[in-house]
Amino acid sequence: MIMASHGQLIGDTNRILNRAAVTTALACVSRGDRRCSWPSVPRSPGVVQRRSVVVSPRMPPSVLIIGAGMAGITSGRALEAAGFDVLLLDKGRAVGGRMATRRIGEATFDHGAQHVSVRTASFAQEVEALVRQGTADVWYRSESVTHPERGMENRYAGIGGMRRIPEALGEGLHVTTGIRVNRLSIDADGVAAIAGNEPVATADAVILTPPLPQTLELLAASNVKGGGEVDSLAAVEYDAVLAVMASLGTPPMMVDGHRAFGTGPIGWMADNQQKGVSAVPALTIHSSPEFARTHLDSDPDRWMAELLVAARPFHQSSVVHAAAHRWRFAQPQATIDVGAVTIDAPAPVVLAGEVFAGARVEGAHTSGKAAAQLVMDRVG
């Protein structure tokens, strides 16, 4: 096959291109050129049309990663370092997944994951490097709610927003955003990603990193059964979170810039200006899982108003503008702590994400490394 840059495959040369064209391209390579012109390829099923390709007599194994959050980016870095040709596709407008930062007017909000904590040596090295390069820093310190025996722990945040962390980690990777893959075509020759009715990329293996319900929906649409293992994964449920981003006329009344709630409709609030994310007063409100469960599919204007009323003691009705966001799969209710999972399919299909490694951002990082290793074991 002829490989386009960054893991996208074009098709079978014997089927698509004549021998003269192949000879010309190989002569181009022999002269030391890395990019060689190629004649137009007729569009047909499973073919991605390109006019310029990188031709290599020794093609590295290729891996397609669906999702450019922490798990996908971590997998991509590990595989690229091992010599694989890697392409990440994400349906969102930017990398990061739930490590999301959004700007509304002059206000900037971290409206997904609020901070990062560290418990493993591997992730500690990653975060220390981010701190040294000025991408992240300690936001505050607190005791662990789930493991109080750990004592006080650092809570790290991205400088300029949480999305800065995956952006920095993913620098140099080939990532294409704004592509929603709705089906995979999998056979012994590899995997093709289909968006709408068009093939957008092919590779030798695929890593799926979306939340489990979305991954299982993609596998079902791709006619991948996977046996009892897939059935057991379907039992995992997620808590949702409803997020409100409120621009304020005056700073919110929170001494430490953040607050967690044990009861009521609000689960968490954060002052993005105090955090160093926003130039103007900007409040992020996260609902409790119980509130989200009741209001998830209702009118966002209604639940946004309810959450703003509940938060009134902290913003004193100084709301200038507010926007809402649903995190339908914010947190798995239970985890399957195996690192990553290989699905029975004609070509390597690996599932990854925080649900496979204790949740949290660190769990996604751990799972991404495990998924990369499973692909190396199968393909490398």
pLDDT at 28: 42
pLDDT higher than threshold 60 for residue 9: no
Q: What is the pLDDT of residue 35?
A: 40
How high is the mean pLDDT of the chain?
87
Q: In Å, how far are 154, 160, 252, 258, 314 from 255, measured between CA atoms?
A: 18, 21, 9, 8, 10
Q: In this predicted model, which residue has the larger pLDDT, 36 or 13?
A: 36
pLDDT at position 261 is 96
Residue 18 pLDDT > 90, yes or no? no
Residue 59 has pLDDT above 90, yes or no: no
Residues 6 and 140 in one domain: no
Residues 43 and 112 in one domain: no
Structural domain boundaries enclosing 245: 101-168+237-332
The structure's pTM equals 0.84
Residue 309 clears pLDDT 50, i.e. is over it: yes
The arithmetic mean of pLDDT across residues 302-315, rounded, is 97
Residue 178 lies in a domain: no
Domain shared by 11 and 140, yes or no: no
Would 174 be classed as within a structural domain? no
Residue 260 lies in a domain: yes
Residue 325 falls inside a structural domain: yes
Whether residue 228 is contained in a domain is answered as no
Are 252 and 134 members of one domain? Answer: yes
- Among 6-10, 34-38, 57-61, 330-334, name the most confident range: 330-334
**Residue 331 clears pLDDT 80, i.e. is over it:** yes
The total domain count for the chain is 2
Q: Give me the pLDDT at residue 367, please.
A: 98
CB 207 within 8 A of CB 348: no
Contacts of 85 (CB under 8 A, 6+ apart): 3, 6, 7, 59, 60, 61, 62, 63, 203
Rounded distance between C-alpha atoms, residue 372 and residue 380, angstroms:
10
Kindly state whether residue 44 falls inside one of the protein's structural domains: yes
Same-domain pairing of 138 and 33: no
Residue 373's φ and ψ, nearest 5 degrees, are: -65, -40
Average pLDDT over residues 368-376: 98
pLDDT beyond 90 at 280: yes
pLDDT at 349 over 80: yes
Q: Point out the domain boundary residue: 315, 332, 349.
A: 332
- CATH assignment of the domain containing 143: 3.90.660.10
- Name the residue with higher pLDDT: 44 or 248: 248
Does the pLDDT value for residue 42 go beyond 60? Answer: no
Are residues 10 and 133 part of one domain?
no
Per-residue pLDDT of 111-158, as tens digits, reads 999 999 999 999 999 999 999 999 999 999 998 777 778 889 999 999
